[in-house]
Amino acid sequence: MTRQTRRRVIAGNWKMYKTQAEARALVSALAPLVAQAAHCDVVVAPPFTAIVAAVEAARGSSIAVSGQDLFWEKEGAFTGEVSAAMLVDAGCRYVIIGHSERRQFFGEIDDSVHKKTKAALVAGLIPIVCVGETLQERESGATEAVLDRQFRGGLAGLTPGEFSRILVAYEPVWAIGTGRVATPEQAAAAHGFLRELAASVFSAELASALRILYGGSVKPDNIAGLMAQEGLDGALVGGASLDAKSFAAIVNCPTRK
Ligand code: 13P
């Protein structure tokens, strides 16, 4: 597989945290701290209600804003849902799709991940598609089967052009919010597996260009070890993205030589 240079992405998933005022304050504090981070794309994903506040506060900086989910229909009687076009209208450039918390608590399945990914791409958003196994799945040796099912179920059927625009986030469920980060070697093995899968489902070239982020208890003190792994192209950060200094420390982690 020819090795491509992949630009790092550090994305903060705020989950169900931050009011509008808090979002404004966080992005305003973050912007100067990451102003020199020319080596990576910086993304924040506020809850829907704080997206516009974050977009306004990010104006003039390199910080891009993401939704945390979307619905695949353009509009209609879908109480509680938000469309891709609505996210674009609010100023988003990215959207997280298939996060394990959506899968665990809100009935997200691979088929809905697929429909949402398609809808996001049609609207011009960059989907950050999440995959990852539970602790029970890992301990029973099912990690690769789960990643295979989630990857194919969510992404097979995209055109090569569509696939070239997505990001994949590997987030082992047992590492999310637990403080139990995957070792750099465990993460690298999963990323390697996903890249091979991308090569077999799409092409070696597309697989080599695919950016795969790691998520699960990423902190300022473990980011360097993770980013030292060749197959890790960035991070999807939960708790540590809620504070400007800790998120900036993750963003500003030097690139590997
Ligand atoms: P934590 O960084 O809080 O473990 O969350 C990870 C995550 O779920 C990001 O999407």
Question: Which residues belong to the active site?
Answer: 99, 171
What CA–CA distance (Å, rounded) separates 34 from 42? 8
Between the CA of 131 and the centroid of ligand 1 the distance, in Å, is 13
Between the CA of 76 and the centroid of ligand 1 the distance, in Å, is 32
Indicate whether 134 pLDDT > 90: yes
Decide if 251 contacts 34 (C-beta within 8 A): yes
Atom of ligand 1 nearest to the CA of 101: 8
pTM of the model: 0.97
Query: Which pLDDT band, with edges at 50, 70 and 90, does 254 fall under?
Result: confident
176 C-beta closer than 6 A to ligand 1:
yes
* Partners of residue 71 on adjacent β-strands: 83
239 C-beta closer than 6 A to ligand 1:
yes
215 C-beta closer than 6 A to ligand 1:
yes
Nearest CA to ligand 1 atom 9: 238
pLDDT of amino acid 1 = 47
Pocket test for ligand 1, best of 69, 237, 241, 250 (most atoms within 8 A of CB): 237
**155-166 tens-digit pLDDT:** 999 999 999 999
Residue type, 13: N
158 C-beta closer than 6 A to ligand 1:
no
Structure tokens that stand for 77 in this block: 């009687």
Nearest CA to ligand 1 atom 5: 238
**49-105 tens-digit pLDDT:** 999 999 999 999 999 999 999 999 999 999 999 999 999 999 999 999 999 999 999
Query: Which pLDDT band, with edges at 50, 70 and 90, does 212 fall under?
Result: very high
**165-197 tens-digit pLDDT:** 999 999 999 999 998 999 999 999 999 999 999
- Count of CA atoms in the C-beta half-sphere (13 A) of 248: 15
* Partners of residue 168 on adjacent β-strands: 129, 212
* Partners of residue 215 on adjacent β-strands: 236
Atom of ligand 1 nearest to the CA of 15: 10
What CA–CA distance (Å, rounded) separates 104 from 111? 15
Nearest CA to ligand 1 atom 2: 238
Pocket test for ligand 1, best of 133, 180, 217, 223 (most atoms within 8 A of CB): 217
